[in-house]
């Protein structure tokens, strides 16, 4: 599956494992259901990531975060936005590893995914063929403001920007 980061196509250093047997895989992504067993089997030089459904509550994932290098959140459909909220909670908890969206997102969601804390997006082949990398990069640059506070690099939302512009504007003489 093609992988994108904020700059375009990215190389994937991670290998998916279907179970907790991660043996000699240096960077292994395991399913949520076997995460605890995989962490118990982790070798000293090995890094572990998890792929989890977007329905997993943050409280269930939180105890594992210090031992993870990657959290991949599965999106069953582009219209199911629960993964965006989960990514935001993970970032706010201080997770500094990679957060990956995995599923059929669309290019119009790229800027929002990045602002929620996603580092990479793993697309099914069909989605990547329908919307090539240049389209994703154009979509990334389309939105410069957000409606939610704390989702932009400046931390200010559209309303905050409007208030600041009004305050900076000279008062018209009557």
Average pLDDT, 10 consecutive residues per value, the chain (174 residues): 90 89 89 94 93 96 97 92 94 96 92 91 88 86 64 65 81 61
| C-beta separation of 114 from 139 below 8 A | no
Report H helices in the chain. 35-40, 58-61, 82-92, 110-116, 125-130, 133-140, 158-168
pLDDT on residue 117: 92
What is the reported pLDDT for 149?
A: 59
Q: Where do the domains of the chain lie, and which CATH numbers do they carry?
A: 3-143 (3.20.20.70), 145-174 (no CATH)
Query: Coil, strand, or helix at residue 173?
Result: coil
Could you tell me which residues come within 8 angstroms of residue 144 by beta carbon, excluding any fewer than 6 positions away? 152
- Rounded to two decimals, what is the model's pTM? 0.82
DSSP state at residue 23: T
């Amino acid at each position: 599956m093609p992988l994108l980061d904020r700059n375009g196509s990215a190389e994937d250093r991670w290998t998916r494992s279907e179970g907790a047997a991660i043996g000699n895989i240096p960077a292994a992504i395991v399913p949520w259901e076997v995460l605890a067993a995989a962490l118990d089997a982790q070798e000293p030089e090995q890094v572990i990531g998890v792929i989890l459904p977007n329905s997993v509550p943050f409280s269930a994932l939180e105890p594992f975060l210090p031992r993870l290098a990657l959290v991949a959140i599965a999106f069953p459909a582009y219209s199911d936005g629960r993964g965006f909220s989960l990514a935001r909670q993970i970032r706010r908890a201080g997770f500094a590893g990679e957060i990956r969206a995995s599923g059929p997102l669309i290019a119009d969601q790229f800027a929002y995914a990045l602002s929620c804390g996603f580092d990479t997006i793993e697309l099914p082949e069909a989605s990547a063929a329908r919307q090539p990398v240049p389209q994703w990069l154009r979509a990334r640059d389309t939105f410069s403001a957000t409606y939610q506070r704390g989702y932009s690099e400046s931390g200010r939302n559209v309303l905050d920007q409007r208030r600041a512009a009004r305050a900076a504007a000279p008062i018209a003489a009557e």
